Structure 1
Amino acid sequence: MSHDPQMAARVWRGMRTLVLDRFDRRKEVTAALDMSFIRAKALRRLAAEPMTMRGLAAYLTIDAPYTTLVVDDLVRRDLVVREVHPDDRRQKIVTVTPEGEKAAAVAEAILGEPPPAILDLDPADLATLDRIIATLTE
């Protein structure tokens, strides 16, 4: 199979433009939840499973002091709780609360809503795109 690096770069630019520029839903999430997107991202991740502060920092690619600020804010909003890790008393584990689960679900609903450009695709094109995206994300 021959590869065309220029075409691959063009496709990648198009995907980035589509998701990050034309149909960026991050502003909708921040407005709906009244918080920064990094906080919403942390909340969505914690809704999937509890994490240590260290693990959350690594996932968010932020330093420990900033992770503490993010989690402190989520604790103040009663969206998460921070407790001593049951298996390692030196670590803290962060768990989402029922209110946090609801907020994370709002964010997921906004982020998961396909834009009109996707909804308006020809069904055959949509099926092809679905197959390609599934291959790329496996």
Structure 2
Amino acid sequence: MSDDALADDVWRAMAAVVFDNRDAWKRDVIETTGLPFSRVRVLRRLAKRPMTAKEIAEAATMDAPATSVAVNDLEDRGLVVREVNPSNRRCKVISLTEQGRRVVASIERVEDPAPAPLARLSREELRSLEAILAKLSAW
């Protein structure tokens, strides 16, 4: 097996572990915020920095119409605000309001324990995985 094929297999396995074990957390976040998860995804990305609608669409893997609907809904709820982009007055930059920051903080407080298979790893295995993930995050 080539290194690329091995990397692809490892990526798929890693993604499966994460996706297969996030349902309870997603339900808790939806219950805590009262928002559809698509809105939560937008808020979490905006917590990192203000973005244009196009940047939000790319970051949240949404199409343009879905992004517009999500941003309109979040704006109606008082969670985001659109402002003229000072570097390009023809487009708007979307950012969190103070209320939006409070909602993001409530999302961060939702417990997200490690799934059982991860929790069963030895301390040494967890430290190795932690080091690998830190290396991946640095790229």
The range that moved more, 71-80 or 54-63, is 54-63
Equivalent position SS for 2:82: strand
Query: Mean alpha-carbon deviation: is it higher for 73-82 or for 127-136?
Result: 127-136
Where does residue 66 of structure 1 map in the other structure?
66
**Contact 1:44–1:108 (Cα < 8 Å) also in 2:** no
**Which residue of the partner structure matches residue 110 of structure 1?**
110
1:89 match: secondary structure: strand
Distance 2:88 2:6 in 1: 50
SS in 2 for 1:114: coil
| Counterpart in the other structure of 1:30 | 30
Structure 2: 5+ residue stretches without partners: none
Residue aligned with 1:57, SS = helix
Judge conservation of contact 2:79–2:98 (CA < 8 Å) in 1: yes
Shift, 1:71, TM fit? 0.5
The separation in 1 between residues aligned to 2:135 and 2:50, in whole angstroms, is 29
Please name the residue that 2:14 is paired with: 15
Structure 2 CA distance for partners of 1:83 and 1:5, relative to 1, 3 Å: closer
Call closer, same or farther: CA 1:97–1:121 in 2, change over 3 Å: same
CA-based RMSD of the aligned residues comes to 2.5
- 2:87 corresponds to: 87
**Partners of 1:46 and 1:35 in 2: CA distance:** 15
1:79·1:99 contact (CA, 8 Å) conserved in 2?
yes
Cα offset for 1:5? 4.2
What CA distance in whole angstroms lies between the structure 2 residues aligned with 1:86 and 1:6?
Answer: 46
Q: Please report the TM-score for the alignment, with normalisation by the length of structure 2.
A: 0.80
Report how many residues are paired.
135
Equivalence for 2:133:
133
Structure 1 residues 85 and 3, CA, compared in 2 at 3 Å: closer, same or farther?
closer
Matched-pair identity in %: 39
Native 8 Å contact 1:23 1:115 kept in 2: no
Matches of 2:7 and 2:78, distance apart in 1 = 48
Q: CA deviation at 1:35?
A: 1.5
